[in-house]
Structure 1
Amino acid sequence: MRFDLSDLRLFLLVVEAQSITRGAERAGMALGSASERIRGMEQASGISLLERRARGVRPTPAGLAVAHHARIVIGQVEQMRGELRQYAVGLRGHVRVLSNTAAMSEFLPNELAAFLANNPTIDIDLEERPSREIVAAIEGGLADFGIVADTVDLGALETLPFRTDQLVLVVPAQHALAGRAEVSFQDVLDEPFVGLSHGSALQAHLAGHAARAGRHLQLRVRVMGLEAACRMVEGGVGIAILPKATVVRSSREGAVCAITLTDPWALRHLTLCARKVSALPPHAQQLVSHLIEN
């Protein structure tokens, strides 16, 4: 049987997403082409690799074996590319990074832009995920490294400190809470909220804390991006919980108030995590060094 690297990368993305459709999207491939490639892999191996269900797919035992070896093969190829970059101009390296909302919006854009400008032969695949999902993906070898909040169990992953992120309650300047110095999350759960779109790691984080309190957030609107959320709060649509850095950077002076949350989870230390940094391909290690040292 013969599988090429594109087949193996696609198969890993499908297994991770538990969906051929979403796996194809992440691979930048048409659904029909992705489905044909998966069928080709199954025909070549003579066994089913995916169990098709009404809502997605999951790997069969044989599929799990293929995914395991695919991670090893792709990791070795990336290692080789990183080493050959020292000798062959133009050979591209690829780094896959997963990040929570705060790092994605506030800390990574400038750092990654500077790194990419100085390293034209390295490409970065950056995806937003909740911290718990990131840890599971890194443990499973589905990405090179991730940026997570240290409020999650990092298991046996190697960690390096990255940045500090403080979540605050943001209210319009005329709101009844605007004069408060601090407030707890539970005290504001009856308020209408401005939320972030489905798939936002921060929104999933807040929904989880509300659920643990036996409540749910009353979302008046969902928006794409933290700056849009600030604008909605300024307009009096509702209140929001956002990174303090976003509020300082994005809100108009005097339009909103940022109130300290008393909940311990509101102050988060963002952490870079990997299975083992020294085992990453050289170009991924280079990116890690850039992020930690700057």
Structure 2
Amino acid sequence: MRLDLADLQLFICIVDAGSITQGAIKAHLALASTSERLRLMEEDVGVPLLMRHPRGVTLTDAGETLAKHARQLLDQQQQLRRELKTFTSGARGTLKLYANTSALTNFLPARLAPWLASHPELHIELEERTSADIISLLSTGSGDAGIVSDAVDGNGLIAEPVADDHLVFIIPGDHKLHNKQAVSFADIIAEPFIGLYPGSALQDHIHSHARALGHDLAIRIRMSTFEGLFEMVDKGIGSGIVPAVMADKYQSRFHYHQLALTDSWARRKLCICYRSRKALNPAMRTLIDHLKTR
């Protein structure tokens, strides 16, 4: 059979109206066109679908079967339209968002939770990368948006600040620098460090600046969490470089001193980056607007 959805819709209009003439009006078609399409439908099926009477039409057994399945198919079509519309309006789907370590561990959890709660059909796929990697990925068309440090070159991307993200140098309580308020990275580069896990975007960021100064950091041990890093510093095992907001968070639990880093790359802001707002799907635009609200 070659029946299409338009044929089925027309047939249901005739059935509901109880008349070919009224069905044609309901379907916004000429009577001659409606009669011809109905004739072709019956020819295609091979049996009569309607019994014609002076005052209208009634269904044959075949017509009853067709009407039953036609209604189901048309209902499914409407359901499909509604569900697809939620994608175009940004009400459902999966969003890919890149984030550096600081954004992933500190900024995003509290900001994403209420947004996700108010958008139950949406999912977010978070991927941790260094800020430089995120810029490179977005510039080449891989992904829609990412949260990076403004200390890196944005390569022409739109970059909108969402939060402060200064880095600080933390030291054990009895460290020789405990009377200092601020230091440069060059001043401390030879210190024994507690590092973060391999692949950490923040740790890779710090290593890249060490290499720029012609040094490799002396990493005594790598920890999988900030909490573990702070505990190691508390025990005097080494020093570390962490986001100021994380240092403040754990200050009451562990004993260490915070020193400001004077390097420009450490006095940074988190920015949401993307190529073009027009190119973003509606859901991502909504998410970005939410993240920008302080």
Indicate conservation of the 8 Å contact 1:173/1:254, yes or no: no
Alignment of 1:213-252 (within 5 A): 213-252=213-252
1:103 aligns with 2:103: yes
CA deviations 1:129-166 (Å, max 9, x no partner) are 01111011112222120011112121221221111111
Structure-1 separation of matches of 2:178 and 2:85: 56
What SS is found at the alignment partner of 1:279?
coil
The match for 1:82 among 65, 83, 87 is: 87
| Aligned residue in 2 for 1:185 | 185
Take 1:195 and 1:289, find their aligned partners in 2: how far apart are those partners? 34
Determine if the alignment matches structure 1 residue 287 to structure 2 residue 279.
Answer: no
The residue correspondences of 1:46-85 to structure 2 (distance < 5 A) are 82-84=87-89
Contact 2:90–2:284 (8 Å) recurs in 1:
no
**Equivalence map 1:142-291=2 (5 Å):** 142-252=142-252, 255-291=255-291
Q: CA deviation at 1:81?
A: 5.3
Cα pair 1:173 1:257 within 8 Å, conserved: yes
Quick one: structure 1 residues 234 and 275, their matched pair in 2 at CA, closer, same or farther if it must change by over 3 Å?
same
Supply the distance in 1 between the matched residues of 2:159 and 2:274 (Cα, whole angstroms).
7
Between the aligned residues of both structures, percent identity stands at 37
Shift of 1:285: 1.0
Q: In the alignment, which residue of structure 2 is the partner of 1:47?
A: none
Normalised TM-score (structure 1): 0.68
Matched with 2:117 is 117
List gaps (5 residues or longer) in structure 2: 1-83
**Is the 2:151–2:264 contact (alpha carbons within 8 Å) kept by the matching residues of 1?**
no
CA 142–133 in structure 1, closer or farther in 2 if over 3 Å, else same:
same
Q: Which has the larger radius of gyration?
A: 2
**Displaced runs of 4+ in structure 1, greater than 4 A?**
none
Amino acid at match of 1:82: F
Contact 1:170-1:242 within 8 A present in 2 as well: yes
Aligned to 2:126: 126
1:165-213 Cα deviation digits (max 9, x unpaired): 1101001112111111111111112211000111111111111111111
Aligned to 2:67: none
Alpha-carbon offset, residue 80 of structure 1:
6.7
Q: CA deviation at 1:278?
A: 2.6
Letter in 2 for 1:101: T
Q: Following TM superposition, by how much is the alpha carbon of 1:119 offset from its aligned partner in structure 2, in angstroms? A: 1.0
Q: Which amino acid aligns with 2:87?
A: G
Equivalent-residue separation in structure 2 for 1:85 and 1:189 (angstroms): 47
Label 1:80 to 1:219 Cα distance change in 2 as closer, same or farther (>3 A): farther
1:93 aligns with 2:93: yes
**CA displacement at 1:253 relative to structure 2:** 5.6
* Alignment coverage as a number of residue pairs: 211
SS of 1:278's partner is coil
How far apart, CA to CA, are the structure 2 residues paired with 1:254 and 1:232? 9
Paired with 2:89 and 2:269, the residues of 1 have a C-alpha distance of 35
Match of 1:248, as an amino acid?
D
Q: For the residues of structure 2 that align with 1:200 and 1:272, how far apart are their CA atoms? A: 19
Show CA shifts across 1:243-290 (max 9, x none): 110010023367110001121211002111111123211111111111
